[in-house]
C-alpha cells in the first residue's frame, strides 16, 4: 500500500528526514515512536503533502502510484488521511458543514452522489456513535474553542466519516484522558478493515495496549533506527531511546 | 468648485425644498431644518485633513451636482421582491428616492398602538410623539452629513412600539433609489422608538436599481426604553457607482438590549457612523458587522460606544473581506464615562485581505474614565490562513473550494449571530453568490 524509500525532506533548508525506509501493507497497523524532534510529524506532513516541506531525495509509492505526483487534496480523495498533531481551527464554519464538504469532495471523486444535509445527518449520527459523542460539537465552528482532547476526538470523527484507506494518526493519544484514550482506540479498531492500513505515531506504549500494532518502528534523527514487533514498544517504555542512538540504522 | 460654492448649491436646493415639497410641516420642524442648514453651512463637507475622515475622501460627493427630490420611475412591485430579505411581508414599508411609496408598501396586522409608517405621515398625525424623539439622538453639531440630512428632513420611516408590546414579525424598511437621468440624492430619515419593555426587530435595506450615480445620505435614530429590546439589521446593497453615507445613533435605557447588524455589500464609497449610548445601568449593546468589498470599493465604519452608566456590557464584532483594490476602514471608539463602573466591553475587528492591492485600516480608540472596568480589543489583518488552507486540502477540498470556504467562514461568523433565520439564510446566500462570482472572475484569464 505504501512504500517509502530513502526519503529525505527538509524545511527552511534544514534536513529533517534523512533517509526513511518503510513499507506498509494492506491490513497492517504500524506504530512509529521516537524522541521529540526526531521527525515523526515531518514524515506525516510530507505524506499528506504539506507545502512547507521539501522532498529532496527518495520516493514514496502509494497504492503503486508516485505520491508526489498527487496534490494534497487528491491524496485525501484517494483515501489518505492524516489526523493532525495540532488540528487547525476554522472560524465560522460548523463542524457538520465542514465534514459534509469533505465527504462530498471525496464522494464526487469516487463518482458517488453528493449527500444533502439530511442524508449526511444519517451518516454523521452513525459515526458519532462510534466515537461516543452526541451532536453538541457539530454546530460549533471547527475546532474553535475545543479542548485539546475534543480536537483529537474530532480528528477521529473525521476519520470515521471519511473512511480512509491509509490513516496516519499523529499523536492522537496525547492529551487524552484515560476514557477518551479507550474511546479513540476502540474507534480506530472498529474502523480497521482488511483493506485498509494505519500508521500511529505515539510516545506512549499505553495506546498500543488497545491498538495492537503489527510493527513498531523507532524514528530517530530523521531515520528509522529500529523496527520490531509490538514487544519493542515495551522495551522502549522500559529503556527509553538512548540505547538505540548508538546502533546503526536498520535499512 | 470651492467649498463655499458647494455649500451654496445645497442652500439653493434647500430654499426650493422649503418652499415646495417640504412646506407643510409643524413650525418646530421648520426651525429644526433651518438650524441644521446653518450648521451644515458652517461645517461644510469634511476633508481628509480631519482626523475622523483621514482615510475617506468625500470629494466625489462634494463635486457632484446631485438633484434633490427626483421622482424617477417607480419600480415594479415584482422587481423589489428580490430585495426583501425576510419572509414577513406584513410590515413592509418601501421608500423610493427617499419618499414613502404606498403602492409598494404593505403594512397590516400591527398590534394595537404600533406604528409603522412614513415619517411625513407621522409628522402630520402624531407631531408631539415625533417631536419628543426626532433629532434628539443623532447629533448634527459635529457631523455635516447629519446636519444636511436634518436640513432636508421630510420623509423616512417611523416605527413606534408602545410600552410592553412584543412584535413577533420583523418590520422591514426598504430604501430604494430608482435610476434617473442625472445624479440624485436622497436623505432618508428613520426613527425607531421602542418604549419600556417592548420588543421589535427591524430590517433596513438600502438598494439601488440600474448603474447610475446617486447618493444616499441616511440617518436612523433608535430609542430603546428601559427593559426594552431592539434587534436591528441593516443591509447595504447600493449599486456599483453609488455613494452611501449614513449615521445610526441609538440610545438605550436601563436594562435594555440592542443588537445592531450592519452588512455592507454595495456602493463605490460608503461611510457609516454608528453611535450607541448606554444611558441606563445594566444595558447590553451588540454591534455585529460585516463588509464584503471588491473592485475599488471603499467602506468606512466609525463606531462609538458610549458607556455613560455602570454595569453595562458592549460586544462589538466587525469582520471585513477585502479583495482586488478595495479598502476597508474601521475605527472603534469606546468611551467609559466617570462612574460607569463595572463596564464590560469587548471589541474585535478581523480583516481578511485577499489581494495584494487591497487594504484594511483598523483603529481602536479607548477612552476610559472609570477604574473598575473590563475593556478588551483586538484586530487582525491578513491573507487566508495557510495552515487552515492545508487542513482543508488534506480533507479532500480543492484549493478553490478551500479558499472560498475559509472566506465564507469569515462572513458566516458574523451572520451566525443574527437571530432572524430567513434573513440569515438570505444573507448567507448573498455572501456565497458574491464569493462564487469572485472565484469565477479569478479563473477567467
Ligand atoms: N519550519 C521549521 N524550521 C526549522 N525547523 C523546523 C521547522 N519545522 C520543524 N522543524 C524541526 O524539525 C524537527 C522535527 O520536527 P517534528 O515535528 O517532525 O518532530 P516530532 O518527531 O514530531 O516531535 P514531537 O514528538 O515533539 O512531536 C524539529 O527539530 C523541529 O524543530
Ligand atoms: Mg510530532
Partner residues linked to B220 by β-bridges: B190, B248
Nearest Cα neighbor of B298 from B320, B326, B323 is B326
Question: B54 exposed, middle or buried (CB, 10 Å; 0-12, 13-18, 19+)?
Answer: middle
Q: Which residues are CB-contacts of B72 (< 8 A; sequence separation ≥ 6)? A: B96, B97, B177, B178, B179, B180, B184
Ligand nearest to the CA of A219: 1
Flag if B394 and A73 touch (Cβ within 8 Å): yes
DSSP letter for B102, please. T
Provide the percentage of residues in chain B whose pLDDT is more than 90.
85
**Per-residue model confidence as pLDDT tens digits over B1-35:** 788 899 999 999 999 888 876 668 899 999 999 99
Cell of B295: 473592485
**Tens digit of each residue's pLDDT (9 = 90 or more) over B338-362:** 999 999 999 999 999 999 999 999 9
DSSP calls for B424-443: HHHHHHHHHHHHHHHHHHHH
A197 burial class (0-12, 13-18, 19+ CB within 10 angstroms)? buried
pLDDT at B70 over 70: no
Rounded Cα gap, residues B98 and B185, in angstroms: 9
- Least distant ligand from the CA of A51: 1
* Ligand 1 centroid distance, CA of A22 (Å): 20
Q: Which residues of chain B are within 8 Å of residue A106 when distances are taken between CB atoms?
A: 396
Task: Provide the ipTM.
Answer: 0.95
pLDDT at B420 over 70: yes
In the predicted structure, residue A178 carries a pLDDT above the cut 90:
no
Name which of A135-139, A157-161, A199-203, B284-288 the model is least confident about: A135-139
Long-range contact list for A142-148, CB < 8 A, 24+ apart? Answer: A142/A88, A142/A89, A142/A90, A142/A93, A142/A94, A142/A95, A142/A98, A143/A87, A143/A88, A143/A89, A143/A90, A144/A89, A144/A90, A144/A91, A146/A87, A146/A89, A148/A175
Q: Which residue has the cell 449599486?
A: B239
CA distance A107 to A59: 28
The three cell numbers locating residue A84: 493532525
d(CA A243, CA B13): 92
Beta strands in A77-145 (DSSP E): 80-83
Q: Is B445 on the interface with A (CB under 8 A)?
A: no
| Residues B126-135: tens digit of each pLDDT | 999 999 999 9
- Shortest-distance atom of ligand 1 to CA A44: 18
Between chain A and chain B, how many beta carbons pairs sit less than 8 Å apart?
79
| Contact call for residues A90 and B409 (beta carbons, < 8 A) | yes
| C-alpha of residue A51 to centroid of ligand 1, in Å | 15
pLDDT band for A193, please (50, 70, 90 cuts).
confident
* Structure-block grid coordinates of residue A55: 522532498
Query: CA triplet B294, B320, B430: central angle to 5 degrees?
Result: 65
Closest CA to B160 of B113, B124, B96, B204: B113
CB B390 within 8 A of CB A74: no
- For residues B321 and B294, what is the distance between their CA atoms, to the nearest angstrom? 8
Give the one of B387, B396, B416 whose C-beta lies nearest to A102's C-beta: B396
Q: In terms of CA atoms, which chain A residue is nearest residue B415?
A: A92
Cβ contact B258:B220 at 8 Å? no
Q: A213 pLDDT band (50/70/90 cuts)?
A: very high
Residue-level pLDDT at B444: 67
**Grid cell for residue B59:** 470629494
Instruction: Give the span between the Cα atoms of B283 and B279, in whole angstroms.
Output: 8
Residues that place a CB less than 5 A from ion ligand 2: A 40-41, 85
Per-domain boundaries in chain B = 68-384, 385-445
Contact B254, B283 (CB under 8 A): yes
For the segment B292-303, the average pLDDT, to the nearest whole number, is 97
Instruction: Closest CB to A73: pick one of B387, B397, B412.
Output: B397
DSSP B40-54: HHHH-S--TTSGGGT
A15 φ/ψ angles, rounded to the nearest 5 degrees: -80, 120
Distances (CA, A) of B161 to A34, B122, B168, B224: 69, 13, 12, 10
Q: Cβ–Cβ of A162/B398 closer than 8 Å?
A: no
Q: How does pLDDT run across B303-331, given as a tens digit for each residue?
A: 999 999 999 999 999 999 999 999 999 99
User: What H or E segment, with its residue span, contains residue A48?
Assistant: helix A40-48
Look at residues A140, A19, A41 and name the one whose alpha carbon lies nearest to residue A89: A140
> Looking at beta carbons, which pairs linking B128-133 to residues 24 or more positions away fall under 8 Å?
B129/B160, B129/B193, B130/B158, B130/B191, B131/B26, B131/B28, B133/B191, B133/B193, B133/B221, B133/B223
Instruction: Please give the share of chain B, as a percent, with pLDDT higher than 70.
Output: 97
Q: Which residues pair with B161 in a beta bridge?
A: B194
Is A176 a residue whose pLDDT tops 80?
yes
Q: How far is the CA of A73 from the centre of ligand 1 (A)?
A: 23
Indicate if ligand 1 lies below 6 Å from the C-beta of A74. no
Whole-model pTM?
Answer: 0.90
User: Does A36 sit in the ligand 1 pocket, CB within 6 Å?
Assistant: yes
> In the CATH scheme, what is the homologous superfamily, with its name and number, of domain A2-244?
P-loop containing nucleotide triphosphate hydrolases (3.40.50.300)
Please give the Cα distance from B410 to B317 (Å, whole number).
11
Cβ burial, residue A246 (10 Å; 0-12/13-18/19+): exposed
Compute, in angstroms, the gap from residue A13 CA to the centroid of ligand 1.
13
The finding on whether A16 has its CB within 6 A of some atom of ligand 1 is yes
How would residue B445 be classed by pLDDT, with cut points 50, 70 and 90?
low
The answer to whether residue B398 scores a pLDDT higher than 80 is yes
**Residues of B with Cβ-Cβ distance to A70 under 8 angstroms:** none
Q: Give the per-residue pLDDT at B402.
A: 95
Summary count for chain A: helices (H), strands (E): 9, 10
Q: What residues are paired with B274 via a beta bridge?
A: B248, B303
Q: How confident is the model at residue B71 (pLDDT cuts 50, 70, 90)?
A: low
Which pLDDT belongs to residue A251? Answer: 42
Q: Average per-residue pLDDT in chain B?
A: 93
Between residues 379 and 398 of chain B, which touch chain A (CB distance below 8 Å)? Answer: 385-388, 390-398
Tell me the best of A16, A34, A199 to mutate to test the pocket of ligand 1, counting ligand atoms within 8 Å of each CB and taking the most.
A16
Q: Where are the domains of chain A?
A: 2-244
Q: Does the C-beta of A42 come closer than 6 Å to ligand 1?
A: yes
Q: Which residue in B has a C-alpha nearest to residue A93's C-alpha?
A: B409
Q: Does the distance separating the beta carbons of A109 and B397 come in below 8 Å?
A: no
Amino acid at each position: 500500500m505504501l512504500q517509502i524509500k530513502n526519503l529525505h525532506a527538509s524545511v527552511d533548508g534544514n534536513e529533517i528526514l534523512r533517509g526513511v525506509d518503510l513499507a506498509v501493507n494492506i491490513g497492517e497497523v504500524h506504530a512509529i515512536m521516537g524522541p521529540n524532534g526526531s521527525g515523526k510529524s515531518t514524515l506525516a506532513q510530507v505524506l499528506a503533502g504539506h507545502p512547507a516541506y521539501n522532498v529532496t531525495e527518495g520516493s514514496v509509492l502509494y497504492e503503486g502510484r508516485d505520491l508526489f505526483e498527487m496534490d494534497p487534496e487528491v491524496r485525501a480523495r484517494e483515501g489518505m488521511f492524516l489526523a493532525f498533531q495540532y488540528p487547525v481551527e476554522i472560524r465560522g464554519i460548523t463542524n457538520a458543514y465542514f465534514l459534509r464538504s469533505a465527504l462530498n469532495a471525496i464522494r464526487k471523486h469516487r463518482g458517488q452522489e453528493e449527500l444533502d444535509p439530511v442524508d449526511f445527518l444519517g451518516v454523521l449520527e452513525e459515526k458519532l456513535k462510534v466515537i461516543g459523542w452526541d451532536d453538541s460539537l457539530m454546530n460549533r465552528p471547527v475546532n474553535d474553542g475545543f479542548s485539546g482532547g475534543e480536537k483529537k476526538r474530532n480528528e477521529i470523527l473525521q476519520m470515521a466519516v471519511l473512511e480512509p484507506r491509509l490513516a496516519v494518526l499523529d499523536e492522537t493519544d496525547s492529551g487524552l484522558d484515560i476514557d477518551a484514550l479507550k474511546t479513540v482506540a476502540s474507534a480506530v479498531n472498529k474502523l480497521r478493515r482488511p483493506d485498509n492500513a494505519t500508521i500511529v505515531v505515539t510516545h506512549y506504549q499505553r495506546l498500543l495496549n488497545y491498538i495492537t500494532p503489527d510493527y513498531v518502528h523507532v524514528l530517530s534523527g530523521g531515520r528509522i533506527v529500529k523496527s520490531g514487533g509490538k514487544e519493542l514498544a515495551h522495551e522502549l517504555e522500559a529503556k527509553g531511546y538512548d540505547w538505540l542512538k548508538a546502533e546503526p540504522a536498520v535499512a | 468648485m470651492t467649498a463655499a460654492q458647494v455649500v451654496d448649491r445645497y442652500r439653493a436646493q434647500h430654499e426650493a425644498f422649503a418652499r415646495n415639497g417640504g412646506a407643510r410641516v409643524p413650525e418646530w420642524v421648520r426651525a429644526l431644518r433651518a438650524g441644521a442648514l446653518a450648521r451644515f453651512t458652517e461645517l461644510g463637507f469634511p476633508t481628509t485633513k480631519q482626523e475622523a475622515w483621514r482615510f475617506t475622501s468625500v470629494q466625489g460627493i462634494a463635486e457632484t451636482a446631485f438633484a434633490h427630490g427626483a421622482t424617477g420611475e417607480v419600480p415594479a412591485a415584482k422587481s423589489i421582491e428580490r430585495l426583501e430579505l425576510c419572509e414577513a411581508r406584513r410590515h413592509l414599508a418601501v421608500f423610493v428616492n427617499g419618499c414613502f411609496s404606498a403602492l409598494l408598501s404593505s403594512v397590516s396586522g400591527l398590534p394595537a398602538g404600533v406604528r409603522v409608517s412614513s415619517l411625513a405621515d407621522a409628522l402630520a398625525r402624531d407631531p408631539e410623539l415625533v417631536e419628543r424623539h426626532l433629532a434628539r439622538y443623532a447629533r448634527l453639531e459635529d457631523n455635516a452629513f447629519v446636519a444636511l440630512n436634518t436640513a432636508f428632513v421630510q420623509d423616512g420611516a417611523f416605527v413606534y412600539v408602545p410600552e410592553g408590546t412584543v412584535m413577533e414579525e420583523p418590520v422591514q424598511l426598504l430604501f430604494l433609489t430608482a435610476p434617473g437621468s442625472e445624479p440624485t440624492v436622497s436623505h432618508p430619515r428613520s426613527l425607531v422608538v421602542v418604549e419600556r419593555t417592548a420588543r421589535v426587530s427591524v430590517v433596513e435595506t438600502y438598494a439601488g436599481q440600474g448603474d447610475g450615480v446617486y447618493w444616499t445620505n441616511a440617518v436612523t435614530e433608535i430609542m430603546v426604553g428601559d427593559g426594552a429590546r431592539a434587534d436591528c439589521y441593516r443591509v447595504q446593497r447600493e449599486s456599483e457607482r453609488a455613494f452611501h453615507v449614513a449615521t445610526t445613533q441609538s440610545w438605550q435605557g436601563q436594562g435594555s438590549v440592542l443588537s445592531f447588524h450592519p452588512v455592507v455589500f454595495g456602493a463605490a464609497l460608503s461611510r457609516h457612523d454608528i453611535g450607541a449610548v448606554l444611558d441606563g445601568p445594566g444595558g447590553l449593546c451588540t454591534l455585529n458587522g460585516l463588509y464584503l468589498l471588491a473592485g475599488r470599493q471603499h467602506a468606512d465604519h466609525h463606531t462609538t460606544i458610549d458607556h455613560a452608566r455602570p454595569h453595562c456590557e458592549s460586544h462589538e464584532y466587525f469582520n471585513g473581506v477585502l479583495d482586488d483594490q478595495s479598502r476597508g476602514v474601521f475605527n472603534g471608539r469606546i468611551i467609559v464615562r466617570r462612574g460607569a463602573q463595572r463596564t464590560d466591553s469587548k471589541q474585535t475587528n478581523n480583516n481578511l485581505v485577499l489581494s495584494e492591492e487591497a487594504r484594511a485600516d483598523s483603529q481602536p480608540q479607548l477612552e476610559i474614565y472609570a477604574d473598575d472596568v473590563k475593556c478588551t480589543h483586538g484586530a487582525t489583518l491578513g491573507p487566508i490562513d495557510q495552515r487552515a488552507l492545508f487542513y482543508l486540502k488534506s480533507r479532500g477540498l480543492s484549493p478553490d473550494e478551500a479558499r472560498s470556504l475559509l472566506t465564507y467562514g469569515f462572513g458566516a461568523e458574523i451572520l451566525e449571530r443574527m437571530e432572524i433565520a430567513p434573513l440569515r439564510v438570505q444573507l448567507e446566500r448573498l455572501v456565497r453568490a458574491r464569493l462564487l462570482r469572485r472565484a469565477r472572475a479569478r479563473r477567467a484569464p
